[in-house]
């Protein structure tokens, strides 16, 4: 999505290039963003929970740990424990299960969320 600006504005050049190359859809209101995101927004919210429920872990606890993992940078088990409020031992047990389920990966410096394929 891109919010179009004046064609004469230098700061709008990138937006207009994306629109011209059909790599973005123009939006000009929150309603249009919700309309566009609504097609796949529910899938993003439910798929990790569905995969986590297959782990046999309490869904709320597992979801808190999953959400504590970084999207772009890795976090340690200790940080995930503090951020999620889940005991460190439980976090250390869940992380390898997340990896087996394709929800997380271990990288230098800790653990990172994996983008759930659609």
CATH code where residue 103 lies? 1.10.10.10
Q: What is the pLDDT of residue 50?
A: 57
Question: What pLDDT digit, counting tens, does each position of 52-103 carry?
Answer: 455 544 468 888 898 889 888 899 999 999 988 999 999 999 999 988 888 8
Domain range holding 108? 54-118
Cβ atoms of 112 and 73 closer than 8 Å: yes
Residues 34 and 90 in one domain: no
Number of domains in the chain: 2
Residues 66 and 37 in one domain: no
- What is the rounded CA–CA span in Å between residue 59 and residue 50? 9
Q: Is residue 107 domain-resident?
A: yes
What residues have CB less than 8 Å from 39, skipping those under 6 apart? none
């Amino acid at each position: 999505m891109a919010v179009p600006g004046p064609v004469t504005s230098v700061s709008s050049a990138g937006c207009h290039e994306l629109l011209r190359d059909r790599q973005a859809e123009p939006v000009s209101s929150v309603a249009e963003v919700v309309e566009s995101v609504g097609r796949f927004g529910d899938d993003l919210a439910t798929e990790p929970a569905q995969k986590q429920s297959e782990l046999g872990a309490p869904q709320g606890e597992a979801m808190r740990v999953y959400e504590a993992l970084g999207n772009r940078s890795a976090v340690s088990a200790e940080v995930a424990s503090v951020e999620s409020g889940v005991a460190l031992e439980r976090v250390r047990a869940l992380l390898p299960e997340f990896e087996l389920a394709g929800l997380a990966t271990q990288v230098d410096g800790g653990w990172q969320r994996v983008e759930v394929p659609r």
